[in-house]
């Protein structure tokens, strides 16, 4: 599995006016609706429900919110780069500016876990995070993520 298999170019955005987790999740839900044809309200509810179990801020300014949905038949991704880092209750208490959301089918386990591992390992790379922070063009952001093919999930 590679990032380019789960993240469409049109599922990448850069924002400068998001200041709350609720607003971020709404943007992710709206993006999922427009790119993947999902129900925005269902995506929002699923993301918020998962986040209520524990924050998905994994450190170094990165968050990986994720949820399972009945409406999907494969894992899909969404990426948002924030111009202004926001509080996300991350494990290292650092604000988040790189958000890679994963949405997976309700019934699949292995693909969801592989995608989570892939995204986590990819965004652990400080050089890659630097490239993402240096760009605000969705095309450039997708290219940086898609080029991270050397880091693969098992």
Domains and CATH numbers, the chain: 3-146 (3.40.930.10)
Element (H, E) at 146: helix 138-146
The answer to whether the predicted template modeling score (pTM) of the entire model surpasses 0.85 is yes
Q: What is the DSSP letter of 83?
A: E
pLDDT band at 149 (very low <50, low <70, confident <90, very high): low
Are 75 and 115 within 8 A, CB to CB? Answer: yes
Query: Which tens digit of pLDDT belongs to each residue from 7-16?
Result: 999 999 998 8
CA–CA gap between residue 28 and residue 91 (Å, rounded)? 21
CA–CA gap between residue 154 and residue 139 (Å, rounded)? 27
Q: What is the DSSP letter of 71?
A: T
Q: Assign 6 to helix, strand or coil.
A: helix
Residue 146 in tokens: 């898609």
Are 82 and 57 within 8 A, CB to CB? Answer: no
CA–CA gap between residue 127 and residue 123 (Å, rounded)? 9
**Sequence-distant (≥ 6) Cβ neighbours of residue 2 within 8 angstroms:** 118, 146, 149, 152
CA–CA gap between residue 102 and residue 138 (Å, rounded)? 17
Residue 66 catalytic? Answer: yes
Which whole number is the average pLDDT over 120-128?
Answer: 91
CA dihedral 125, 73, 54, 87 (to 10 degrees): 60
Q: What is the DSSP letter of 113?
A: H
- The answer to whether residue 92 scores a pLDDT higher than 90 is no
Catalytic: which of 60, 66, 70, 142?
66
- The answer to whether residue 37 scores a pLDDT higher than 60 is yes
The residue assigned the tokens 């780069």 is 81
């Amino acid at each position: 599995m590679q990032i380019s298999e789960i993240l469409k170019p049109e599922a990448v955005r850069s924002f400068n006016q998001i200041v709350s987790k609720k607003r971020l999740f709404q943007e992710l839900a709206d993006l999922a609706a427009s790119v993947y044809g999902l129900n925005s309200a269902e995506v929002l509810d699923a993301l918020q429900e998962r986040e209520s179990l524990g924050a998905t801020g994994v450190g170094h300014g990165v968050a990986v919110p994720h949820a399972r949905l009945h409406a999907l038949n494969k894992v899909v991704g969404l990426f948002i780069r924030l111009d202004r880092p926001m509080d996300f209750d991350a494990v290292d208490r650092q604000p988040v500016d790189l958000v890679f959301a994963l949405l997976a089918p309700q019934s699949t386990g292995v693909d969801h876990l592989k995608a989570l591992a892939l995204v986590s390992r990819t965004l652990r790379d400080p050089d890659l995070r630097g490239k993402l922070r240096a760009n605000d063009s969705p095309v450039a952001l997708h290219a940086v993520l898609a080029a991270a093919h050397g880091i693969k999930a098992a």
